[in-house]
Amino acid sequence: MSKGTRYTDEFKAKAVRLLTESRPSYSSETKAIAEVARDPGVSSETLRRWRNQSDASAAEQSEQSAQEAMAELKRLRAENAELRRANGILTTASAFFAARRKPFRDVGDLELATFQWVSWWNTKRLHASLDYRTPEQVETEYYTNQATQAASL
- Residue 67's CATH number: 1.10.10.10
100 belongs to a structural domain: no
135 part of a folded domain: yes
The Cα 142–Cα 73 span in angstroms is 40
The secondary element (H helix, E strand) that includes residue 67 is helix 44-98
8-state DSSP, 42: -
Residue at 91 is within a domain: no
Domain end residue (candidates: 55, 73, 91)? 73
What is the model's pLDDT at position 110?
86
pTM given for the model: 0.41
Same domain, 61 and 121: no
Of 20, 52, 73, the one marking the end of a domain is 73
- Domain-embedded: residue 102: no
User: Can you give the pLDDT at residue 1?
Assistant: 47
- Does a structural domain hold residue 87? no
Residues 3 and 66 in one domain: yes
Q: What is the mean pLDDT of each run of 10 residues along the chain (153 residues)?
A: 71 86 82 82 86 85 87 94 90 81 84 88 83 89 92 85
At residue 129, the pLDDT reads 83
Final residue belonging to a domain, choices 73, 103, 136:
73
Measured over the CA atoms of residue 42, residue 43, residue 46 and residue 50, the dihedral's sign is positive
Same domain, 120 and 64: no
90 in any annotated domain: no
Is 50 domain-assigned? yes
69 and 120 share one domain: no
Give the dihedral of Cα atoms 130, 136, 142, 148; nearest 10 deg: -140
Query: In which domain, by residue range, is 28 found?
Result: 1-73
86-119: pLDDT as tens digits: 998 888 888 887 777 778 888 998 888 889 888 8
pLDDT at 147: 92
18, part of any domain: yes
pLDDT of residue 56: 83
Which residues make beta-bridge pairs with 133? 127
What total of structural domains would you count in the chain?
Answer: 2
Sign of torsion over alpha carbons 134, 140, 142, 148: negative
Residues 64 and 124 in one domain: no
